[in-house]
Amino acid sequence: MSPSVKEELVKRSPLRILEKSISGGLGRGNIAVLASRKGVGKTACLVHIAVDKLLQGKSVIHVSYSSRVDHIINWYEDIFKEIAKAPRMASALEMYDELIRNRVIMNFKQEGARTEQVLRSLEAMIVHGQFAAETIIVDGLDFGQAGPEELRKFKDFAARLGLEVWFSASLRGEEPLFDARGIPLLLESHVGVIDVLISLLHHGDHVHFTLVKDHDRLAPHNLRLKLDPTTLLIAKDAAKAA
Amino acid sequence: MMSTELAKMRNIGISAHIDSGKTTLTERILFYCKKIHKIHEVKGKDGVGATMDSMDLERERGITIASATTNVLWGDHSINIIDTPGHVDFTIEVERSLRVLDSAVLVLCSVGGVQSQTITVDRQLRRYNVPFIAFINKLDRTGANLFKVRDQIAEKLGHNAVLLQIPIGLEEDFRGIVDLVSMKALYFDGPDGEIVRAEAIPAELEAEARAARESLVDAASMFSDELMEAALEGRATEAMIHAAVRRGAIARRLVPVLAGSAFRNKGIQPLLDAVVRYLPDPSEVENRAVDLNGDGVERVLVFDPSAKTVALAFKLEEGSYGQLTYIRIYQGSLRRGDELVNTRSGQKVKVGRLVRMHADTMEDIPGAVCGDIVALFGIDCASGDTFCSPGLNLAMTAIYVPDPVISLAITPVDNATADRVAKALNRFSKEDPTFRTYVDPESNQTIIQGMGELHLDIYIERMKREYRAEVETGMPQVAYREAIGQRVAFDYTHKKQTGGAGQFARVIGHFEPLAKGGYEFANEVRGGRIPREFISSCDKGFRAALRKGLLIGFPVTGVRAVLTDGQFHPVDSSDIAFQAAAQGAFRQAYAKSRPQILEPLMKVSIEGPSEFAGNVFATISQRRGVIVSSVEDGMFARVDAEVPLSEMFGYSSVLRSLTQGKAEFTMEFLKYGRVPGQIGELLIEQYAEKQRASAPK
């Protein structure tokens, strides 16, 4: 459980590559969106990002729409196990118990949950619950229903409370899903509010990451990352790196 | 009742979340089975209270505490019903009933749906593999939604929940139900709903009923090829559907969902029909017992009235008629005058009066057969004891009993009361294995222990009411534990020369933390450095030392003691000397082991309107709690958290005032966790002060 093990895990994480590519990280008050079709692995990515924050000693609120709490808890356990596997830590379990004390899961049923209500509850958790979150994960928000003005509310909230917020966006329907600039058609009207936009695409047996928007820069390029099909972890893409 | 065919016997429990209307439902069942002649409400305006709540206290609080068992006849079926308590503090009662019953009715509120206690009860049903029917109650309430609750049973509990009925009207307008098997609308007429009137399905519900029936037949077909074929050819009969649903239900692969409103007297008779139709008779349930003669081998019991008898005493009660022992017969039969052996104590007992219970009244019976639940008079035993015919030595698997987490010092107000207190405590601890009592040798005070604040409160009130024994109570005390933080070596010599025979013993070794808790002893002494006969003395000495930690005087858990070397003296070494050396070694090493204080952490679930979520979050963080999750479903919110028990005292009144009584919470023991440094230091200081105060001057 030594701090050095955590430091090591953080240092070696492929998420450092992602950070480097997005000018050092998302940053407080900013919003990132991971977009892909259903079942590609967005939730796994978000949980990987969350566990990485937890390892850095930061607090995370995981907001989900309609997914079951025990499923989310399992996701964290599985992803953590995969991450911790590498250095073979004997005390992994104890470390995990300590880490998840800094994670709260908030579940909202989509139909009933208006953005104002979600933000009110988030604020209650941070202020009244004295939960000093720095990162908010929002999994399963329906961007088809929640327009740019809804996302703007999240962004204002993030700026006011100094949070960084990671969303997933499910893309549906017929091809093409993206416009010429690589922006998902579903998110075309949102893109002004989004600071970092990443799309996930199946490519052979791997999932590849494309950085569509990096803060003020709109120039799609491939991140040297992939999603490992067995562990569902974000991993370095050796082929591209070579 | 001996003539009752076994196939027509049912042993059912009724389980539910608090306030789902379970007691009201039981009351209606008794009424329609003609066991009682008038309906009383739980918090009755008539001041009588529901019949199943036999204790005054339960009447007053409007909750059910002790499970009273009762027998009813529905048609030619004999049903034993155990009314189980809903509050988590009393889950030992629920667990015991589940061991004894063959099936259950899970009552859910049509507004609240699957609630925290429902999840606990569902887990228990799963653990004991108990088939059940779901009854969705309170369809007359504002916000009632049968389909939502059905979906929750499927999603939150993971069951194949299948509707057998749909409602006619809802809320204020709830009028009756459509039975999807017979495709009839059922209404409940008469002043107490006692007349069931079957009519054609109202036209506006026809399409919905047809669709729901189709899903029912589809689901049931999974358990019957005959039904599947017949359904394809459009000739599925009611009998085929019943048989298939029954098969699925008994295998726990289908949960029949029924609905109604017990309070409005609607839907109860069809529920009773479903109990006898779909739930198993005792011969369809396999029961096992541990053979005490052969290395704990499990034996399957034979369901045969002529076999040798095996019965389990699952509940003791001291009623106005003397001591009653509730037993379930698993094998053989029982007649007045039979001789049985209590396999725990080896004591022989003779069966005297044998009765069948109905809440507060009883009927004498000459005998009973396997599968039945009856009560005996004048048998001295503890709950959980197994009775067998002479020659058999079996024990029904012990029901898991958790350790108490809270204790309270009590002092009788005067000497005359002291006797009555002792009598009451003796009886309570026999009835309820999670309630314990002892006299603290240091303070000379009587201590009672249990599973929560409410648990102990109830017993204190019962002492007052039933025994006229009033006591003063101290502050509730949490059952802390101590633990060692790291491996630590010891080398201790015990030496005493006080004229006459001296004492000499030396022990060398180490203590190390044991993650799974408890205590382990390892002997690695080679070459007779400590004679064999003194090894066990060391073990005994360590055990004695661990009973009382040096930080705050609570038991030390999670220790592995390894003895590697030592020394003895041919004359001066003795059992006592090695015990003393072991204790000395622990005292020497403990401080260096970075010892820690552990406290019970509770799993707390709070449910209520979502507008209060912020207030609830605040109460958790003020109590050193960790919020695990919060779920909001429209207006309704549920917060799950882990909170130290020591911070939860008085929480119910805090929550009530914060939420205008609209939120409720349940809690149960989760695990032991480390007490944070500052609070630990405070506890140590308090303990030291107490020690100084009581030290001889």
Closest partner residue to A130 (CB to CB) among B621, B630, B640 is: B621
CB A49 within 8 A of CB A233: no
State whether residue B615 sits within 8 Å of chain A by CB.
Answer: yes
Structural domain spans, chain A: 3-241
Query: CA B155 to CA B161: how far, in whole Å?
Result: 9
Query: For B314-320, which contacts have Cβ atoms below 8 Å and span 24 or more sequence positions?
Result: B314/B96, B314/B97, B314/B99, B314/B100, B314/B383, B314/B384, B314/B399, B315/B66, B315/B67, B315/B69, B315/B96, B315/B383, B315/B431, B316/B381, B316/B382, B316/B383, B316/B427, B316/B430, B316/B431, B317/B66, B317/B431, B318/B427, B318/B431, B319/B360
State whether residue B630 sits within 8 Å of chain A by CB.
Answer: yes
Which residues of chain B neighbour A112 with C-beta distances below 8 Å?
Answer: 632-635
Which residues of chain A neighbour B631 with C-beta distances below 8 Å?
Answer: 69, 106-108
Residue of B nearest to A113 (CA): B634
Question: Which of A94, A106, A110, A139 should one mutate to test binding to chain B, selecting the residue with the greatest count of B CBs within 10 A?
Answer: A106
Closest partner residue to B621 (CB to CB) among A101, A108, A129 is: A129
Quote the Cα angle for B308-B310-B315, to 5°.
155
Give the minimum alpha-carbon distance from B616 to chain A in angstroms, rounded to a whole number: 8
State whether residue B609 sits within 8 Å of chain A by CB.
Answer: no
Residue of A nearest to B626 (CA): A101
CATH number of B482-594: 3.30.230.10
Q: Structurally, what CATH architecture does the domain formed by B6-284 represent?
A: 3-Layer(aba) Sandwich (3.40)
State whether residue B631 sits within 8 Å of chain A by CB.
Answer: yes
φ, ψ for residue B199 (rounded to 5)?
A: -135, 175
For the sheet containing B288-291, what is the strand order?
B297-300, B288-291, B394-396
CATH number of B597-678: 3.30.70.240
CB contact (8 A) between residue A121 and residue B630: yes
CB B205 within 8 A of CB B178: yes
Q: Which of residues 634-693 of B touch A (CB under 8 A)?
A: 634-635, 640
Coil, strand or helix: which one is B461? helix
Give the minimum alpha-carbon distance from A209 to chain B in angstroms, rounded to a whole number: 30
Closest partner residue to B632 (CB to CB) among A104, A109, A127 is: A109
CB contact (8 A) between residue B621 and residue A105: no
- Looking at residue B197, its pLDDT comes to 92
Closest partner residue to A124 (CB to CB) among B617, B629, B631 is: B617
Query: CA B157 to CA B165: how far, in whole Å?
Result: 20
Which residues of chain B neighbour A109 with C-beta distances below 8 Å?
Answer: 632-634
Which residues of chain A neighbour B630 with C-beta distances below 8 Å?
Answer: 104-107, 121, 125
CB contact (8 A) between residue A68 and residue B617: no
Which letter does DSSP use for residue A217 in this model? Answer: B
Coil, strand or helix: which one is A115? helix
Residue of B nearest to A112 (CA): B634
State whether residue A159 sits within 8 Å of chain B by CB.
Answer: no
CB B332 within 8 A of CB B371: no
CA-nearest of B99, B76, B59, B79 to B356 is B79
Q: Which of residues 403-442 of B touch A (CB under 8 A)?
A: none
Which region holds residue A17: left if phi is over 0, alpha if psi is between -120 and 50, else beta? alpha
Q: B191: cis peptide before it, omega within 30°?
A: no
CB-count burial class (<10 Å; 0-12, 13-18, 19+) for A187: buried
**Pairing assessment for the beta strands A133-139 and A164-171 based on DSSP bridges:** parallel
CB contact (8 A) between residue A112 and residue B632: yes
- Looking at residue B89, its pLDDT comes to 56
CB contact (8 A) between residue A121 and residue B613: yes
CB contact (8 A) between residue A129 and residue B620: yes
CB contact (8 A) between residue B617 and residue A101: no
Give the minimum alpha-carbon distance from B626 to chain A in angstroms, rounded to a whole number: 6
- Looking at residue A241, its pLDDT comes to 41
Closest partner residue to A129 (CB to CB) among B155, B627, B629 is: B627
Which residues of chain A neighbour B618 with C-beta distances below 8 Å?
Answer: 128-130
**Tens-place pLDDT, residues B594-612:** 999 999 999 898 888 888 8
CB contact (8 A) between residue A68 and residue B621: no
Residue of A nearest to B622 (CA): A129
Q: How far, in whole angstroms, is CA A96 from its chain's centroid?
A: 19
Pick the residue with more confidence: A206 or A123?
A123
Q: Structurally, what CATH architecture does the domain formed by B288-396 represent?
A: Beta Barrel (2.40)
CB contact (8 A) between residue B618 and residue A117: no
Topology adopted by domain A3-241: Rossmann fold (3.40.50)
Name the β-bridge partners of A59.
Answer: A133
State whether residue A59 sits within 8 Å of chain B by CB.
Answer: no
Residue carrying the six token digits 């725990």: B344
φ, ψ for residue B606 (rounded to 5)?
A: -120, 130
Residue of B nearest to A120 (CA): B614
CA-nearest of B479, B634, B624, B500 to B552 is B479
CB contact (8 A) between residue A129 and residue B155: no
Topology adopted by domain B406-471: Alpha-Beta Plaits (3.30.70)
Q: Which of residues 143-172 of B touch A (CB under 8 A)?
A: 155-156
CA-nearest of B397, B387, B399 to B310 is B387
**Tens-place pLDDT, residues A8-53:** 888 888 899 888 888 888 999 999 999 999 888 899 999 999 999 9
Closest partner residue to A104 (CB to CB) among B156, B627, B633 is: B627
Side chain identity, residue B216: L
Residue carrying the six token digits 């403990």: B590
Name the β-bridge partners of A61.
Answer: A104, A136
CB A63 within 8 A of CB A167: no
CB contact (8 A) between residue B632 and residue A104: no
Closest partner residue to B627 (CB to CB) among A108, A120, A131 is: A131
Do the domains B597-678 and B406-471 match in fold? yes
How many residue pairs from chains A and B have C-beta atoms closer than 8 A? 66
For B690, residues 6+ apart whose C-beta sits below 8 A from its C-beta are none
Residue A167: pLDDT over 90: yes
The interface pTM score, or ipTM, of the predicted complex is 0.88
Token pair for residue B381?
């035993």
CA-nearest of B488, B449, B464 to B596 is B488
Structural domain spans, chain B: 6-284, 288-396, 406-471, 482-594, 597-678
Low-confidence ranges of chain B (pLDDT < 50): 1-3, 44-45, 47, 62-65, 67
User: What is this structure's pTM?
Assistant: 0.69
Q: Dihedral angle at the C-alpha atoms of B647, B653, B656, B657, nearest 10 degrees?
A: -100
Query: For B488-492, which contacts have Cβ atoms below 8 Å and span 24 or more sequence positions?
Result: B488/B512, B488/B589, B488/B590, B488/B592, B488/B593, B489/B589, B490/B585, B490/B586, B490/B588, B490/B589, B491/B585, B492/B581, B492/B584, B492/B585, B492/B588
CB contact (8 A) between residue B629 and residue A104: yes
- Looking at residue B17, its pLDDT comes to 74
Residue of B nearest to A102 (CA): B626
CB B115 within 8 A of CB B109: yes
Query: CA B52 to CA B70: how far, in whole Å?
Result: 8
